[in-house]
Structure formats: structure tokens, C-alpha cells
Amino acid sequence: MSTRKKQILKVIILGDSGVGKTSLMHRYVNDKYSQQYKATIGADFLTKEVAIDNDTTATMQVWDTAGQERFQSLGVAFYRGADCCVLVYDVTNPKSFENIKSWRDEFLIHANVSSPETFPFVILGNKVDTKDSKKSVTLKAAQELSKSLGNIPLFQTSAKNSINVDSAFEEIARGALEQN
């Protein structure tokens, strides 16, 4: 029996304000980067067609926050029906890294997913283009965190220089498809 899957993959991006969530989304969807995105501008989500195999595509909806993450007050509509949750920190901001786990918990509390243990998350350590090594979060620390949370796929990215963004979103799409 064929299990027909819906072709819309809802992906949400969480993480502290300023880590580069909006920049990553624009880099992936539009292949653009700008120093400043107005927090209040824009739709609830951007979409991008993703190829699944030779004759199948899906529409990925990437949901971004409009700055409400500062108050941890994202509405239920934001979380509802998510197929993959992307957790972003800034490699030069240890606090944003420490908060990854709380963002994951926040998601699990609000999204009400049927099976939290197998829900697909992806962690992105963004701004790897910067040379701010003093403050930076080590890859080793990030790998340990990913392992402790059940081997969440981890990518070190740069929205600015377009490093690893496409491969990260390929993994995100893969996770979302499995969940979907």
C-alpha cells in the first residue's frame, strides 16, 4: 500500500536573537545576504522547492521568527505541524550555544510532537567565517552537545560566506521528509 505523503515540509528556525537565523534562511532560499534584516519585515515563512528524486519535488516552508524570540513568545501557529526544527547558535557567542538545549525544550513543549525521541532536529553553529577565536565555541563542545541530545546532525555554517548552508538544508529537508 502506498503511503502518500503531503508535499509541504514545515521547517522552523529557533535560536537566540542575532545568531543569524534570518540570514541563513535568506541565504538558503534566495542565495542572498545582507547585513541587516528588519525584524518586523517579511512573511511568516519563505518557500523553496526541493528535489526529492527525479520526478518528485516538495515545497519546503521555512518559518522564521520576527524578533519574538527575545521574549520567548512565539505563538502556537509557529510550532504547529513542524516537520523539522533547526537550532541555531553563533560560534562566537557561548551564551547562544548554552541556550540550544532550552530552545529544543521550548520546541518540544509547544509543538506537541508525537514522538520527541525521534523528532528531527538539526543544529547549526553559524558565523564560522569570523576570526573571533577567543570567544568561540569549539567544534568539540558542539559535537558533545549533539551527541548528548541523541546525535542531532550538526553543521558549522556561514550565511555570510555561504559555507555549508546548502548541505545543512539538505539534511534539514531529509529530516523533514522522514518526519512528514
Q: Which residues ranging from 16 to 35 are in contact with Mg ion (CB under 5 A)? A: 21-22
For ligand GDP, the closer CB: 130 or 180: 130
Site for ligand GDP in 14-53 (CB under 6 A): 15, 17-23, 35, 37
Shortest CB 124 distance to ligand GDP, Å: 10
Alpha-carbon distance 154 to 95, whole Å?
18
Q: Which stretch binds ligand GDP (CB under 6 A): 43-51, 76-84, 100-108, 123-131?
A: 123-131
Separation in Å, CA 147 to CA 13, 37, 70, 142: 20, 33, 27, 9
C-alpha to C-alpha distance for 50 and 39, rounded to whole angstroms? 26
Question: Minimum distance between the CB of residue 42 and Mg ion, rounded to whole angstroms?
Answer: 9
Nearest-approach distance from CB 20 to Mg ion, in angstroms: 8
Our finding on whether 96 is near Mg ion (CB under 5 A) is: no
**Cβ(59)–Cβ(8) under 8 Å?**
yes
> Measured between alpha carbons, how far is 99 from 77 in angstroms, rounded to an integer?
22
DSSP 52: E
Only one of the segments 14-22, 82-90, 91-99, 123-131 lies at the binding site for Mg ion (rule: CB under 5 A); that segment is: 14-22
Contacting residue, 7, 111, 130, 180, with ligand GDP by CB under 6 A: 130
Which of 158, 169, 172, 173 contacts ligand GDP by CB under 6 A?
158
Nearest to 168 by CA among 28, 8, 14, 7: 28
Residues of this chain that interact with ligand GDP (CB under 6 A) are: 15, 17-23, 35, 37, 126-127, 129-130, 158-160
